[in-house]
A and B are shown apart, each in its own frame.
Chain A
Amino acid sequence: MGCSACPLFLLGGIFVFFKSAKYRKSFLKSLLFVLPGVLITLIFVIYPVLNTAWLSLNSWNGIGGAPVTWVGLQNYVKTLTSAKFWNSMLNAFYFMIGGFVVLMPIAFGMALLVTSKMKGTKFFKAAYLMPVMLGTTAVGLMWTFLLNSNFGVLAQFLKAIGHGEWIINWLATPTVNIWCVVLVNEWMYAGYNMLIFAAGIVAIPDDVHDAALLDGCTGIKKIIYITVPLCKNMFMVFSTLCITGCLKAFDIVWAMTNGGPMDSSATPAVLLYTQGFQYKLMGRSGSISIILLVLGLVLSILLNQIIFKEKD
């Protein structure tokens, strides 16, 4: 049961509880079942969010015992008027573009491959999932070396084919660096998202495929008119995960560039971390967290309502 339904359930339960002894026993049983989930959500989700929201309205340098001073919306004003923040939002937007334009088609294509009847799908599944199993730090370090403009594999390859002039410091050039991180991120998570789409593809009943075959709908046409529409829920799941994931992208960025140079490749999550723990601006960091939370919720709801809503 979703957390949003809990308050309603509790109010209703309280009413029934005091109304009749007949329902009291089953109410208590129901309460016991949801209580662990509610408690975990309250302690690890609701409380930190409320505490962060309160911190975002204050100024605190992060030292235990130091005074926490009320500043109202000042942190939000400073954040929303900060060039660094908007640069980080642009980087998050690049992540989203990469997610929808690069990752989604590739993951969907991989899912079609591994759910097809061709030979070797087990090998493909394992191969596509390997980057996910490597771990973010290992992937980040690996690609940092691959992209080194002196001794990296890419630089050596370009030199070998006579295009040494194309070599630049990919991870230190603004815009290029964040796109390198984005593409590495897509490489790493293609296999994981393949599983999401594969789950939707295998759920399509066989008789739908048979009917399509009878009507001459095969190949690309079957994918466009049958598979994609029937996998709409999977696209919804992917979209929500993609948007929230892009807004909170941290680990791969930190592993590859530390958000630098000069915060040029910082995402909002990297920024909130550095603002809080390097610059000791905990209130400002909190305001970034709340802005991300609200943005993530709004974007997810909008996307699902506008794009994926069932037409009447």
Chain B
Amino acid sequence: MRMKKKLIAVLMSMAMLASTGSVCFAADKSDDSATDYDVENREYKDVTITLHTRWDEADTSGPLYQAIVDGFMEKYPGIKVETIQIPTESEWLNSESVLMADKSSMPNIIVEYGGSRVAGYVQQDLIVNMDPYYEQYPEWKERFNALGEGMTDYTAYGYEGTYGVPFTAYEVMLFYNEDILKANDIDPASIKSWDDLMSACEKLKANGVQPFEMGEKDDYRFGHLHSVLNYKTYGCDMAEKLGSREVAYDGDEQKEIYTMIKDATDKGYLGTNLLGNDDGQERSIFNTGGSAFLFMGTWFCAEDHTGLELFDNQKIHAMRFPYVNADYEFDDMGGGNEAYYVVDTGDADEVAASVLFMKYMTSEDVVNTFYEGYPAPMSVNVTTEAGDYLTKEANDVIAGTKEVRGDIENYDSATHMINTVRQALQGIAMGNSVDEVGKTITDLISEYE
């Protein structure tokens, strides 16, 4: 009897250990040799995929994205799409870091901005190469324009292939309030260069009008200003030069950029409460006539401006961000605004369902319906006319653009750089000198690398 009890106890322990230990042998990367790339002609039964995004339910685009998910599930009832929506950039990035730390928690599709963060995932074979699927469906590849290429091409990091599916696009522009400029005798057509813009700011400030009211509490604001001033001064290839450290962050070229930002800050042109306002407040202030200018990505055009007098009366306009060096007048900050990356979770059904979702999302009818509700520039070709006057003005500017790059730090192989540079630039709003900004960045590079 005693031996029987001992035997039962030992067998139960072994069963517990085996079931606990089986997680160590969970499926790893899916076997490429057996992959069927024809995702449309495949049976899906009880497949659940998770999508990690920045979709904002409170934004105009939120319900439109949800409609895409709902439409997909209706068309493919065997696939369930669950979404994790985190609108705030810093919270979304942190959430992604947590989920991507372990295979068992990785979402099936992540929204990202490309650059070294995604390159890190590509390096670990976590992102599905879309090339075989584009070979299967060549008409699908035809749907994309050049705007989104920067988010899917990782040859600069040494990885051949196409990683990610771009969706919306953007370009950073200068928006202005026609009434304020007119009241202060400033002709917007005369603002071509950064010096022209600074002269206009000086005139506005002298008349008691606030030129910009930037929300640097969200540190990406100075980050974007730094990127766009670099492209307008040195051309878009400065992104690769900084990324490869051919140009130093504490060198003369970058100090010139920091000086431009600092001079404008010290003169009060960029805001009266830089570190107290966030980007939402910045837009609210501009939308209600509290500032003359706003520099922002073209997603601003597609935001809900219902009931805002300035927009109803068409008093807000878009123009190309002023050049610093006339040679680079048509080099701009922009490109893909977001790309969707299919994560290889090791489950072939989930990967196929995820690719199918992306194919559905970028199909002509779906994109057109989305664009009609949210007329932002797209990396996928749009075959419908939509959008208000501001969107049309922005599209006209984009049409004249010759070269674009995204956030300048995204071209650096070190993933910490976007946070490092943005934090250091925030120091300008705190009164730091240009030397201190450069030193902060280089000190942190030494510390982290």
B97, A64: Cβ atoms under 8 Å? Answer: no
Taking the nearest CB of chain A, how far is it from the CB of B227, in angstroms?
19
**Restricting to A129-179, which residues have a CB under 8 Å from any CB of B?**
148-150, 169, 171-172, 174
Contacts of A169 in B (CB 8 A): 273, 275-276
Assess whether B124 is in contact with A64, with CB atoms less than 8 Å apart: yes
Q: Is A4 an interface residue (CB 8 A)?
A: no
**Inter-chain contact A62/B97, CB cutoff 8 Å:** yes
A-B contact count (CB 8 A): 94
A51 interface residue, CB < 8 Å from B? no
A266 to B419, CA, bound (A): 15
Q: How far is the CA of A171 from the CA of B278 in the complex (A)?
A: 13
Q: Are A260 and B423 in contact (CB under 8 A)?
A: yes
Interface residues of A in 260-290 (CB under 8 A from B): 260-264, 273-274, 276-282
**Is A203 an interface position by the 8 A CB rule?**
no
Question: Known: A82-B447, A280-B120. Contact between A262 and B94, CB under 8 A?
Answer: no
Residues of chain A within 8 A (CB-CB) of B244 are none
- Check if A64 sits within 8 Å of B416, measured CB to CB: no
What is the bound-complex CA distance between A258 and B89, given in angstroms? Answer: 12
A65 & B103 in contact (Cβ 8 Å cutoff): yes
Q: Which residues of A contact B97 (CB under 8 A)?
A: 62, 276-278, 280
Bound form: Cα–Cα A276–B448 in Å: 12
Q: Is the CB of A148 within 8 A of B276?
A: yes
Q: Does B47 contact A (CB under 8 A)?
A: no
**Docked pose: A268 CA to B424 CA in angstroms:** 20
Q: In the complex, how many angstroms separate the beta carbon of A159 from the nearest chain B beta carbon?
A: 14
B121 and A149 form a contact (CB under 8 A): no
Complex alpha-carbon distance, A274 and B418, angstroms: 13
Chain B: CB-nearest residue to A264? B430
For window 391-449 of B, CB contacts with A under 8 Å fall at 415-416, 419-420, 423-424, 426-427, 429-430, 440, 447-448
Cβ–Cβ contact B276 & A64, under 8 A? no
Residues in chain B near residue A149, CB distance under 8 A: 273, 276
Count contacts on B: residues with CB < 8 A to the other chain.
38
Q: Chain B residues near A150: list those with CB within 8 A.
A: 272-273, 276-277
Q: Across the interface, do A279 and B416 meet the contact criterion of CB distance under 8 Å?
A: yes
The reply on A11 being an interface residue by CB < 8 A is no
Residue numbers in B under 8 Å from A172 (CB-CB): 217, 274-276, 429-430
> Which residues of A are found within 8 Å of B102, using beta-carbon distances?
64
**Complex interface: chain A residues within 8 A of B416 (CB):** 278-281
A122 CB, nearest partner CB in chain B, Å = 39
The answer to whether A262 touches B424 (Cβ under 8 A) is yes
Asked if residues B124 and A65 are in contact (CB atoms below 8 Å), the reply is: yes
- Tell whether A62 pairs with B423 under 8 Å between CB atoms, given A169-B273, A169-B276, A171-B276: no
By the criterion CB–CB under 8 Å, are B275 and A261 in contact?
A: yes
User: Cα distance A278–B126 when bound, in Å?
Assistant: 19
Cβ of B13 under 8 Å from chain A: no
| Residue B66 at the chain A interface, CB threshold 8 Å | no
A64 and B419 contact, CB distance less than 8 A: no
- Asked if A214 lies at the interface with its beta carbon under 8 angstroms from chain B, I say no
Q: Does any Cβ of B come within 8 Å of A78's Cβ?
A: yes
With contact pairs A82-B447, A262-B423 given, residues A61 and B415 touching in the complex (Cβ less than 8 Å) = yes
Q: Which of B97, B123, B423, B448 has most chain A Cβ within 10 Å?
A: B97
Determine whether the beta carbon of A174 is less than 8 Å from that of B124: no
B429 touches A277 (CB 8 A): no
CA distance A282 to B101 in the complex (A): 10
Whether B126 and A65, one on each chain, are in contact in the complex, defined by CB atoms closer than 8 angstroms, is yes
CB of B219 within 8 A of CB of A62, answer no
A164 to chain B, nearest CB (A): 13
Is the C-beta of B174 less than 8 angstroms from some C-beta in chain A?
Answer: no
Residues in A whose Cβ lies below 8 Å from that of B273: 148-150, 169
Write out the residue numbers on chain A whose beta carbons fall within 8 Å of the beta carbon of B275.
169, 171-172, 261
Q: How far, in Å, is B225 (CB) from chain A's closest CB?
A: 16
User: Which residues on the A side are within 8 Å of B426 (C-beta)?
Assistant: 260-262
A174 CA to B429 CA, complexed, in Å: 12
Minimum CB distance partner of B103 in chain A:
A64
**Cβ proximity bits B255-275 to A, threshold 8 Å, 1 near / 0 not:** 000000000000000001111
Closest to A62 in B: B101
Contact of A277 with B94 in the complex, beta carbons under 8 Å: yes
A211 within 8 A of B: no
Q: Is A118 an interface residue (CB 8 A)?
A: no
Contact residues in A for B124 (Cβ distance below 8 Å):
63-66
The distance from the CB of A221 to the nearest CB of chain B, in whole angstroms, is 48
Chain A positions within 8 Å of B200 at CB level:
none
Residues of B within 8 A of A273 (CB): 94
Contact A258 B120 (CB under 8 A): no
- B106 proximal to A (CB < 8 A): yes
- The listed residue (B126, B272, B440) touching A64 by CB distance below 8 A is B126
Q: How far is the CB of A74 from chain B (nearest CB, A)?
A: 12
Q: Inside 8 A of B448's CB, which chain A residues have their CB?
A: 279, 281
Instruction: Decide: A279 near B415, CB < 8 A? Known: A63-B120, A171-B276, A172-B276.
Output: yes
Q: Is B98 in contact with chain A by the CB < 8 A criterion? A: yes
Report the separation of the CA atoms of residues A140 and B427 in the bound assembly, to the nearest whole angstrom: 23
Assuming the contacts A150-B276, A260-B423, A279-B448, asked whether A63 and B430 have C-beta atoms less than 8 A apart, the reply is no
How many Å lie between the Cα of A195 and that of B429 in the bound state? 43
Q: B93, A278: Cβ atoms under 8 Å? A: yes
The A-contacting residues of B in range 86-100, CB under 8 angstroms, are 90, 93-94, 97-98, 100
B135 — which chain A residues lie within 8 A by C-beta?
none
> In the complex the two chains form, is A262's CB within 8 Å of B427's CB?
yes
Contact residues of B between 235 and 267, Cβ < 8 Å to A: none
Most buried by A among B124, B273, B275, B426: B275
Interface residue ranges, A against B (CB under 8 Å): 61-66, 78, 82, 148-150, 169, 171-172, 174, 258, 260-264, 273-274, 276-282
A-B contact pairs, 8 of them (CB 8 A): A63-B120, A169-B276, A172-B276, A261-B217, A264-B430, A278-B90, A279-B419, A279-B420
For the complex of A and B, list the 7 residue pairs with the smallest distance between their C-beta atoms, beginning with the closest. A172-B275, A277-B97, A279-B416, A277-B94, A64-B103, A65-B124, A261-B426
